[in-house]
């Protein structure tokens, strides 16, 4: 069912962009999430694709929550990198995808990450590293330990905590929907519990103190 703009805008909005080298599976991840299909012969993207998805998930209390996700699929060619940089601004979540059978695609995550840090202005952005093609068990060369080492390096380098890792198979539909739901849930919760008050971030553990402070100010 199509929704009008008022219905779309009634939900919390977030922007997620998928980046990575060519042929790592970005477009099939996009297809799995948006159309529930996999296309072995899907042609390499020559333009940025975008779609709005109303994503549902359960919060920690079991209540159903919904969020409107603006999902972007990008091309991985080097010659388009400057164009992609324009899409990093004010992004809520960035998926760095690599091929678990391709060492270069994993090493290039560092280049993509450096671009994102330079151009993304959202300090609360969540970062997700996803290894695709785990169905090719005999060809896997990127071990989890190597990825976790990279995550520790970038957490220290850029002083970020919102860096998460998972492995999937778009072809066999392993962990795809579950991973995407988890990403959306993390972004939703971050939007819910972070309050901007005099340029300070007040986390959920500080909310009771924050409310008491506000009441005193009114008296």
The full set of domains in the chain, from first to last, is 5-194 (3.40.50.300)
Give the per-residue pLDDT at 212.
Answer: 45
Give the per-residue pLDDT at 46.
Answer: 61
Host H or E run for residue 93: strand 93-99
Is the pTM for the entire model greater than 0.85?
A: no
How far CA 112 is from CA of 43, 58, 82, 88, 103, in Å, comes to 22, 31, 11, 11, 15
Find the radius of gyration of the CA atoms of the chain. Answer: 19
CA distance 202 to 219: 22
Give the per-residue pLDDT at 198.
Answer: 34
Give the per-residue pLDDT at 153.
Answer: 93
pLDDT averaged per 10 residues in sequence order, the chain, 219 residues: 64 92 93 94 73 87 91 71 74 96 96 86 90 98 95 89 92 96 91 51 36 44
Give the per-residue pLDDT at 196.
Answer: 43
Q: Is the dihedral of CA 104, 34, 176, 161 positive or negative?
A: positive
């Amino acid at each position: 069912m199509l929704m009008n703009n008022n219905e779309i805008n009634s939900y919390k909005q977030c922007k997620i962009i998928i980046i990575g080298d060519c042929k790592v599976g970005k477009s099939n991840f996009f297809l799995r999430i948006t159309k529930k299909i996999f296309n072995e012969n899907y042609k390499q993207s020559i333009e940025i694709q975008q779609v709005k998805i109303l994503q549902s998930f359960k919060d920690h209390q079991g209540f159903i929550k919904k969020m409107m996700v603006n999902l972007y699929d990008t091309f991985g060619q080097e010659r388009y990198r400057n164009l992609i940089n324009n899409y990093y601004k004010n992004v809520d979540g960035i998926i760095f995808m690599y091929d678990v059978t391709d060492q270069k695609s994993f090493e290039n995550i560092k280049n993509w990450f450096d671009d994102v840090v330079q151009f993304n202005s959202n300090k609360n952005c969540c970062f997700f590293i996803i290894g695709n093609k785990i169905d090719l068990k005999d060809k896997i060369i990127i071990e989890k330990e190597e990825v976790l080492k990279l995550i520790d390096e970038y957490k220290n380098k850029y002083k970020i905590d919102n860096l998460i890792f998972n492995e999937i198979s778009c072809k066999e539909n392993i962990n795809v929907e579950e991973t995407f739901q988890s990403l959306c849930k993390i972004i939703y919760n971050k939007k819910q519990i972070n309050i901007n008050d005099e340029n300070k971030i007040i986390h959920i553990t500080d909310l009771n103190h924050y409310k008491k402070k506000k009441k005193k100010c009114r008296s």
